[in-house]
Amino acid sequence: MRAEIISVGTELLLGHTVNADAAHVARELSALGVDLLQVQTLGDNGPRLEAALREALGRAEVVITTGGLGPTDDDLTKETVARVANVPLEEDADSLARLREYFGSRPMSSNQRKQALLPLGATAFPNAVGTAPGCAVPVGAKGWVLMLPGPPSELLPMLRQSVVPFLADKGGAVIASFMVRSFGLGEGAAALRIAELTDKANPTAATYAGDCEMFVRVTAKAPDVDAARALALPVVEEVRRRLGSVVYGVNVESLEAVVVAELIRQGKTVATAESCTGGLLAKRITDRPGASQIFGYGLVTYANAAKMRLLGVPEDMLRVHGAVSPEVARCMAQQARREYGADFGLGITGVAGPDGGTPAKPAGLVYVALSDAQHVWLRVMRPQGRYLGRERTRRLASSHALDMLRRCLAGLPVEDDWALENNGTAIG
Amino acid sequence: MRAEIISVGTELLLGHTVNADAAHVARELSALGVDLLQVQTLGDNGPRLEAALREALGRAEVVITTGGLGPTDDDLTKETVARVANVPLEEDADSLARLREYFGSRPMSSNQRKQALLPLGATAFPNAVGTAPGCAVPVGAKGWVLMLPGPPSELLPMLRQSVVPFLADKGGAVIASFMVRSFGLGEGAAALRIAELTDKANPTAATYAGDCEMFVRVTAKAPDVDAARALALPVVEEVRRRLGSVVYGVNVESLEAVVVAELIRQGKTVATAESCTGGLLAKRITDRPGASQIFGYGLVTYANAAKMRLLGVPEDMLRVHGAVSPEVARCMAQQARREYGADFGLGITGVAGPDGGTPAKPAGLVYVALSDAQHVWLRVMRPQGRYLGRERTRRLASSHALDMLRRCLAGLPVEDDWALENNGTAIG
């Protein structure tokens, strides 16, 4: 099956917004074994969109549009697709019921109601988050146009809940897909370790550089689920073996999801003490539903006074070593645990930058510490060559904290093995 | 002048990489007043690229390619452009000298050297960071193809140093663009208020639904910057007037950027006390460089014990009203301020969900409070119709906290006016 993506929105052509939707859709198509020929990005321009749709339908069986489904006048994807499919727009009862439910007791304007209009014969894709439903519209003998909303928070759930099953059903074959997720290995190093595995046609294996992380997706195609899984699983195991203990999970949502689930499983708790990450670590832990079982206290000690008052970091230590030091990081981790009655304490202190760095303590230098009742472990993030920027520095520091806790919970070395794994890579 | 962008790279079609290059180029084109018709993304496929180039040159005077200039065999942009321009590739002496300088004493392979080949008659764009130069190639009577490297770290400096001056020299009009950002009004409601303004051709006005926020972009085209600004500014003012006090800034980065900057300007500080947002509010404040001037203490009091110990919330209050109550939110805000010596205190408590809700206190119910030395203000987020999900609930709660502080700093009503503005919209 061949597909094309058409992303609609003048904001994309003005460069206000990066087209992340196209990447999200592309990733799912690739996992389904659908061949994506090209992506087009157009403004809110009916005639141009119509021409692009007709051309794309000449090359591909499935054309997926993103954007232009909202309530305003410049949202014209549905009207244009209906014209190409040569069908009228009709109010979809289910979509209208969902809109009514969304608005509750508040009034719904006529342009909001317009969102329940779908091309006649379309299969609606409910919007779990926002107002505009998506849909699949048959065009001609065997073509389909799938329309998805532009905001990623609406597109992503619809993609997983509606689009992937819809396309899998059309494609005939079934796909089994496994995402092996790791932290602490650069994409280049990972690619070298699994080199021959990525040359195969079925199952396929491909590396993805994530948000300071590295993923390998293994996808197998077969007539049924069991056969697809049986094809994929030996390769998944081989990827795990070659990457080693940097792998934190397969088909898991995130590093924090794994850490929170394991803390719950072991009946252990954690307290956090953050300086330069300013609450990001606590935020990532509490991103997980059920975090209250393992997390009660998070201290954002941005000021030195806060480190002294909330954590009892000695004034002398701050004066002699400075707030950004291994000593203070260790003390923060220990005191978070001791003072707030947790099994583990995590401490982070560093220079997030871009300002505030010195030659001895440059922007990007961060100390991350983990403490349990017996030990304190430390990692240092030292900017090598280039400073990553404030956002990535903070993100990476919080990931190191989570990874240290993950390794500790799994009985893996927390400091040394990590350094070994990362020899020669970009992280750290 | 009309332009198109063609981004080349199979990794883009597999969804490994988001096409940020296209957004970078689009932003510069928009600032130059160049009309971008569309963006196409193709794989490393010569014939398809050739067809796309010929089509694009039929619609636009300037076609900008990104990617496919590297040393490997699947980098075929230059060969393909040379074929379309009907000229041979020739070694460019300056580019070869720069390559030699880059490699220094290290050996340079023949495929590395290949990067100094440019289509005959091209103007080279030196690469300040990597190895592959870009260039501008004349095609036909008045067409140009500009080739830029794929890695953003190489593309961005080349864009500013070479491409913008090159196009400014060729083109005529200039663009002035303003983004009016607001919090507290749905896109539908905003669109109604500025309806006729969005019908104009120059300046144009368009609404965008952001992350729980709403933006209006006003763009004017004129022969010079002053004339473009003079055209745009009255419309910007009219948009501000019609949207009212929900507007938090024009051409600003984010709500938190405005709040942090205003606190710094007024020499005021804030302390945060978070339950269901679990550190997200502190994280957003400390996303801003320089936040240490206005933020010293953030308390993530996820457990009731933490609310008592760190904030002195009375046990009775928690027992009688529950942790999710107006009383506790107000108390958290007041105590964060009092206990930690700040000018303002923000308190957030609620049910982030999806679990933990009850009929009386459903998932999505959040109380947000702001305290200064004289007053305590409260907002309630009540799930109307549908629960937004954990992530958006937390995000929206933290935005409400920031918005309350913004309004307070600006001397605007913090509770009532907000409720009025939001009558009938999706937020709340």
Q: What is the CATH number of the domain that holds A114?
A: 3.40.980.10
Residue A418 has pLDDT above 50, yes or no: no
Residues B61 and B90 both lie in one domain: yes
- Backbone CA torsion sign across A64, A67, A71, A72: negative
Give the pLDDT score at B425.
33
Band of the pLDDT at A197, cuts 50, 70, 90? confident
Residue B417 has pLDDT above 60, yes or no: no
Residues A151 and A86 both lie in one domain: yes
Helix H or strand E encompassing A30: helix A20-32
Residues B178 and B211 both lie in one domain: yes
Tally Cβ neighbours within 10 Å of residue A1. Answer: 16
- The burial class, CB within 10 Å (0-12 / 13-18 / 19+), for A320 is exposed
Helix H or strand E encompassing A99: helix A93-103
Band of the pLDDT at A423, cuts 50, 70, 90? very low
Tell me the residues of chain B between 1 and 30 that have a Cβ less than 8 Å away from chain A: 12-20, 22-30
Q: What angle do CA B94, B96, B97 make, to 5 degrees?
A: 65
In this structure, of A145-159, A320-334, B90-104, the range with the lowest mean pLDDT score is B90-104
Domain-ending residue, one of B218, B250, B282: B250
Residues B317 and B269 both lie in one domain: yes
Residues B30 and B145 both lie in one domain: yes
The answer to whether residue B228 sits within a structural domain is: yes
Segments forming the whole domain that contains residue B229:
174-250
Residues A157 and A186 both lie in one domain: no
Q: In Å, what is the CA distance from A296 to each residue of A118, A369, B36?
A: 47, 19, 52
Average pLDDT in chain B: 90
The answer to whether residue B419 sits within a structural domain is: no
The answer to whether residue A90 sits within a structural domain is: yes
The answer to whether residue A198 sits within a structural domain is: yes
Residues A345 and A316 both lie in one domain: yes
The answer to whether residue A418 sits within a structural domain is: no
Q: In Å, what is the CA distance from B394 to each residue of A92, A153, B275, B333, B391?
A: 32, 14, 10, 17, 5
CB A387, CB A362: distance < 8 Å: yes
Residue B78 has pLDDT above 80, yes or no: yes
Structural domain total, chain B: 3
Q: Please list every residue in chain B whose beta carbon sits closer than 8 Å to the beta carbon of residue A217.
A: none
Residue A378 has pLDDT above 80, yes or no: yes
pTM of the predicted protein model: 0.80
The answer to whether residue A104 sits within a structural domain is: yes
Residues B159 and B218 both lie in one domain: no
The answer to whether residue A427 sits within a structural domain is: no
ipTM for the predicted complex comes to 0.80
In this structure, of A99-113, A235-249, B223-237, the range with the lowest mean pLDDT score is A99-113
Distance CA A69, CA A82 (A): 13
For the segment A249-254, the average pLDDT, to the nearest whole number, is 94
Q: Cα A8 from chain centroid?
A: 23
Tell me the residues of chain A between 290 and 309 that have a Cβ less than 8 Å away from chain B: 290-292, 295-303, 305-306
Residues B333 and B278 both lie in one domain: yes
Band of the pLDDT at B209, cuts 50, 70, 90? confident
Gyration radius from chain A CA atoms: 25
Give the pLDDT score at A415.
84
Residue B262 has pLDDT above 80, yes or no: yes
Band of the pLDDT at B12, cuts 50, 70, 90? confident
Give the pLDDT score at B193.
86
For the segment B94-99, the average pLDDT, to the nearest whole number, is 91
Residue B163 has pLDDT above 90, yes or no: yes
Residues B122 and B15 both lie in one domain: yes
Tell me the residues of chain B between 337 and 396 that have a Cβ less than 8 Å away from chain A: 340, 352-356, 384-386, 388-392, 394
Residues A280 and A371 both lie in one domain: yes
Domain-ending residue, one of A197, A218, A250: A250
Domain harbouring B358, CATH code: 3.90.950.20
CB A30, CB A2: distance < 8 Å: no
Q: What pLDDT, in 10s, does the model give residues A64-101?
A: 999 999 888 888 999 999 999 999 999 999 999 999 98
Distance CA A269, CA B144 (A): 62
Q: Cα B86 from chain centroid?
A: 40
CB B420, CB B276: distance < 8 Å: no
Domain harbouring A235, CATH code: 3.30.70.2860
Residues A166 and A178 both lie in one domain: no
Chain A interface, best mutation among B302, B382, B398, by max A CB count within 10 A: B302
The answer to whether residue A422 sits within a structural domain is: no
Helix H or strand E encompassing A48: helix A46-59
For the segment B363-375, the average pLDDT, to the nearest whole number, is 96
Compute φ and ψ for A76, nearest 5 degrees. -125, 20
Neighbouring C-alpha atoms within 13 Å toward the C-beta of A270: 31
Domain-ending residue, one of B225, B250, B275: B250
Which candidate from A15, A38, A279 shows the least CB-CB separation from B42?
Answer: A38
